[in-house]
């Protein structure tokens, strides 16, 4: 901490608003304005550090140019911030060339976060390659979970819900998606769990953050959320040998009416799909319900990605298409667990892939939204294993009507 040198200037603590005379040394080094970088005590500075350090990142990113994403940033690169390529297996200091469909651009990503040695890990944690999952019989047959598996999934899905809720509380203009990933990572590890996406087929982060025209699998990076954005945060955790998967789309500040309707309709698509889940229902019927509601609202349903079985495997049978007239086989039975996760677009349903090999975006650059739950088919209907809790943040305004 550096002491203030201008006795005539009265500053307020960035944390508690008390008179402040101490200055963040990094802000001094970067020659940033003293307002917002002053603190009354060392304790206030330490308590604010996790959020305050984003100011330094913003200053470093300013050297990228007027659009914030072009050119090389040697300062960020020297700290390990690089653009992602080849599904996470390669990095570059320069923005890759691409015919971008919308206004969003990738930003550099931080280095891989560590998971403590005592945390139980899936088999891809070290080398990025799933071993059991691709060759499992459960890729072709739908598993009926045992009571023990179901109980473990309940525990895991509750952790996943609490982690997503922690991420939701972070959503506001000025926060980077990398900061959201940090919160997801730390909350997951604190619960004794592993963030399932981390190093899964080399995915470089602990959650997916999909902003505006990104349909799914967006990689958390150095971009700051802006007023008017929408963002989907997709969380999966691995605990006691099973996975729990869910996601939600949130508003960032003041969002236009069309985006509000898109996000609410997507939520309703999932809600209506869940309402038909029970023994004897065909898996293909889920897509009919979602397609009907989305189409009636003038929106389109993504066809390239689907819901999936889940349990001791991250992805397995059944596949759950979200669009109409699909050819999914099989019927629901008590004891099955799977996700439903419709992706709804404001424009066309088709998608393109960014150079990172993960980020799927709308082909026309228009916005996309998604919601997801992990579900258990019961003897009489369905149990939403990742359901919202009484403690979940109030971030979906239509639920209050």
Residue 66 has pLDDT above 50, yes or no: no
The pLDDT tens digits for 273-327 are 999 999 999 999 999 999 999 999 999 999 999 999 999 999 999 999 999 999 9
> Is 217 labelled as part of a ligand binding site?
yes
pTM for the predicted model, two decimal places: 0.83
State the helix-helix crossing angle for 257-275 and 284-296, rounded to 10 degrees.
Answer: 150
118 Cβ partners below 8 Å, 6+ apart?
A: none
> Cα–Cα distances in Å, from 200 out to 120, 121, 131, 193, 254?
15, 11, 11, 15, 34
Residue 5 has pLDDT above 60, yes or no: no
The pLDDT tens digits for 350-363 are 999 999 999 999 99
Q: 131-382 has which CATH code?
A: 3.90.230.10
- Residue % of the chain over a pLDDT of 90: 80
Q: CA–CA separation, 158 vs 387, rounded Å?
A: 8
> Is 315 labelled as part of a ligand binding site?
yes
Q: What's the pLDDT at 69?
A: 47
- Residue % of the chain over a pLDDT of 70: 90
> Is 341 labelled as part of a ligand binding site?
yes
304 Cβ partners below 8 Å, 6+ apart?
A: 215, 350, 351, 360
Residue 4 has pLDDT above 80, yes or no: no
Asked if residue 233 lies in contact with residue 165, where contact means CB atoms within 8 angstroms, the answer is no
The pLDDT tens digits for 33-60 are 776 788 888 887 877 776 677 667 656 5
Every domain of the chain and the residues it spans = 131-382
Band the pLDDT of 68: cuts 50, 70, 90.
very low
């Amino acid at each position: 901490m550096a002491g203030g040198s201008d006795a005539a200037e009265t500053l307020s603590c960035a944390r508690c608003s008390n008179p402040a005379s101490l200055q963040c040394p990094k802000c001094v080094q970067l020659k940033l304005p003293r307002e917002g970088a002053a603190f009354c005590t060392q304790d206030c500075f330490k308590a604010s550090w996790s959020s305050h350090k984003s100011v330094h990142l913003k200053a470093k990113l300013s050297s990228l140019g007027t659009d914030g994403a072009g050119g090389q940033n040697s300062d960020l690169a020297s700290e390990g911030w690089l653009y992602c390529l080849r599904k996470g297996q390669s990095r570059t200091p320069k923005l890759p060339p691409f015919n971008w469909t919308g206004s969003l651009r990738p930003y550099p990503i931080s280095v891989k976060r560590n998971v403590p040695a005592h945390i139980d890990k899936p088999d891809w944690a070290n080398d990025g390659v799933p071993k059991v999952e691709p060759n499992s019989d459960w890729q072709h047959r739908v598993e009926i979970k045992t009571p023990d598996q179901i109980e473990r999934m309940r525990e895991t899905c509750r952790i996943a819900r609490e982690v997503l809720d922690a991420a939701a509380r972070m959503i506001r203009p000025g926060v980077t998606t990398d900061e959201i990933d940090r919160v997801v990572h730390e909350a997951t590890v604190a619960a004794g769990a592993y963030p399932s996406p981390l190093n899964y087929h080399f995915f470089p982060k602990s959650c997916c953050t999909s902003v505006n025209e990104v349909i799914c699998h967006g990689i958390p990076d150095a971009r700051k959320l802006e007023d008017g954005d929408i963002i989907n945060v997709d969380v999966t955790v691995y605990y006691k040998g099973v996975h729990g998967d869910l996601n939600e789309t949130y508003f960032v500040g003041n969002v236009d009416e069309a985006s509000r309707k898109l996000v609410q309709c997507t939520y309703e698509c999932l809600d209506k799909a869940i309402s038909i889940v029970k023994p004897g229902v065909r898996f293909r019927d889920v897509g009919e319900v979602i397609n009907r509601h989305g189409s009636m609202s003038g929106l389109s349903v993504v066809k390239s990605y689907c819901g999936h079985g889940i349990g001791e495997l991250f992805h397995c049978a059944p596949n759950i298409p979200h669009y109409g007239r699909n050819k999914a086989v099989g019927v629901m039975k008590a004891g099955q667990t799977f996700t439903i996760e419709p992706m709804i677009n404001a424009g066309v349903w088709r998608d393109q892939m960014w150079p990172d090999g993960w980020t799927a975006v709308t082909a026309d650059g228009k916005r996309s939204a998604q919601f997801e739950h992990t579900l258990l088919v019961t003897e009489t209907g369905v149990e939403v294993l990742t359901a919202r809790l009484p403690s979940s943040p109030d971030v979906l305004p239509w639920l209050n009507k």
